Amino acid sequence: MARLILFLVLAAGVALAAGWFASEPGSVTVNFRGETYETFVGVLVVIIAVIAMAAVLLYAVLSGLLSVPKRLRAWRERRRADRGLKALARGMVAVAAGDARTADREAGRADRLLDAAPLTLLLSAQAAQLQGDEQAAEKYFREMLARPDTEFLGLRGMLLQAGRAGDRAAALAYAQRAAELRPDSSWVQRSLFELSVKAGLWTEAEEALRRAVRRGAIDAETGARHRAALLLQQSNDAERRGYVDEARNLARKAAGAAPGSVPAALRLAGLDRATGRLRAAKRGIERAWRSGPHPQLAAAYGPLTETGKEESDEARALARAQGLRRLSDIHPLHPESHLAMAEASLDAKLWGEARGYLAKAERYFREAEGAGGPPARLYRLLARVEEEEKGDAAQAARWLALAGEAAADPRWLCSECGHGFATWHPCCPACQGFDTLAWGRPEPLTRIAVIPGALPLAALGAGDGNRGGGRNDRPAEAPERTAEAGPPGQPTETQPVEGRRAEGQPVKE
């Protein structure tokens, strides 16, 4: 629309000029080399316009002819770049497909056609890595380091090379240099944290973790858990050096960083107990128990309830059972509360109460969705009841046989290597993975087998006082088993998997 308007304006201008010259004919006289020429002004204007147009046309033709070599060079360069980019694309596809031979061929072609552009250096390095030529890959990464536009990419490549070679010091140096260039890069902050952990630089790792969380490289929840693990590791180191107060302060910070953390609560309670702060130790375990009951919290809480005035083992066991009620009352319906009270009642020889708590726990595991069935621990406690209250070794052996086939007890499982451990560690003792241990049940190895004739736990009853059911209430004889059950408390041939896992040894499924 704008062009049409401009054309109409110009046409109107030319028409007006032509009309004006026609109405004002005038004349022009020109003397040239003794000759006199006379014509109208309008004719002279037309002659001048024709001469100008001819000059412009001649200039365009001459400039076009003179620019032909330059345009030919530009065409060749565009064609060369197009071929180079196609070779680069084919090389990248070959790298992604793991075709080392094609990747190397296309990398060389792209390098020749594109004059060592940044992406060709990367392609050449990756092709060399696919062929297992680490020296060539390192050469290309070092070339990238020398160029400002590829320095960051080269640093990442060198960091990975150092990691493959096991040179943690060099990898950490590259990560620190990369952090100076791109402090907002997620992989840089994450790598800096992980390498600091592997190097045992706990303070530096804590600072790197803080930056990684702030920049979104690590989410806040994971960051809080990692920080607690770092503080617990530092607490362990401080205690080994003999600085108990410093160790306790670090454990207190860990408990604050991850409220409800069982490892932090246990660590702080242990140090509080060692320094005579029994009430603080109990409060810490109670806070953690509110977040979620845990058998190790109950085990640590029991001794804290002793007054120190008990003169016998029986009196101490009774004090622990009575004191543990305060903890279990926080979550009175939780199965861990039932199991903890059952074990404490067994130690105090309160057989009826022990049976009642075990019946409640069994009912929960049977009825609750996702509970996974009664754990082996429950059956082992039942075996203790039969053996210690009645001396019934045969029935205890039957419960132990069920324990060998029941769902495995929860333990600290490494998410990296799958090993299980009885206690939590900041770094997995098997694979050295940092903060990879989480409480959970191992994968089931066998289904739970029900012995024909065995009575359900609910039939055992809670009993009254310290008495349980009579000797005539035991289940009918079970059919003969292929593996003989050992004495109470010892694993049968169906149980060694549990023993190996508890020690953190790998188990072949």
CA distances from 353 to 359, 374, 461, 464 (A): 10, 19, 9, 8
Counting beta carbons within 10 angstroms of the beta carbon of residue 69, is it exposed (0 to 12), middle (13 to 18) or buried (19 or more)? exposed
Q: What is the pLDDT of residues 168-203, one digit of tens each?
A: 888 889 888 888 888 888 888 889 999 999 989 999
pLDDT of res. 179: 85
Confidence band of 95 (pLDDT split at 50, 70, 90): low
Least confident of 216-220, 231-235, 281-285: 216-220
From its phi and psi, is residue 486 left (phi > 0), alpha (psi between -120 and 50) or beta? Answer: beta
CA pair distance 180, 190, nearest whole angstrom: 14
Q: What is the pLDDT of residues 446-499, one digit of tens each?
A: 444 444 444 344 433 433 333 333 333 333 333 333 333 333 333 333 333 333
3-state secondary structure 173-196: HHHHHHHHHCCCCHHHHHHHHHHH
pLDDT of res. 256: 94
Counting beta carbons within 10 angstroms of the beta carbon of residue 102, is it exposed (0 to 12), middle (13 to 18) or buried (19 or more)? middle
CA distances from 22 to 40, 45, 95, 450 (A): 10, 12, 78, 121
**Residues 235 and 270 sit within 8 Å (Cβ to Cβ):** no
Put simply, whether the predicted model's pTM sits higher than 0.85 gets the answer no
pLDDT-above-70 percentage for the chain:
82
Confidence band of 233 (pLDDT split at 50, 70, 90): very high
- In the chain, where the domains are located: 77-149
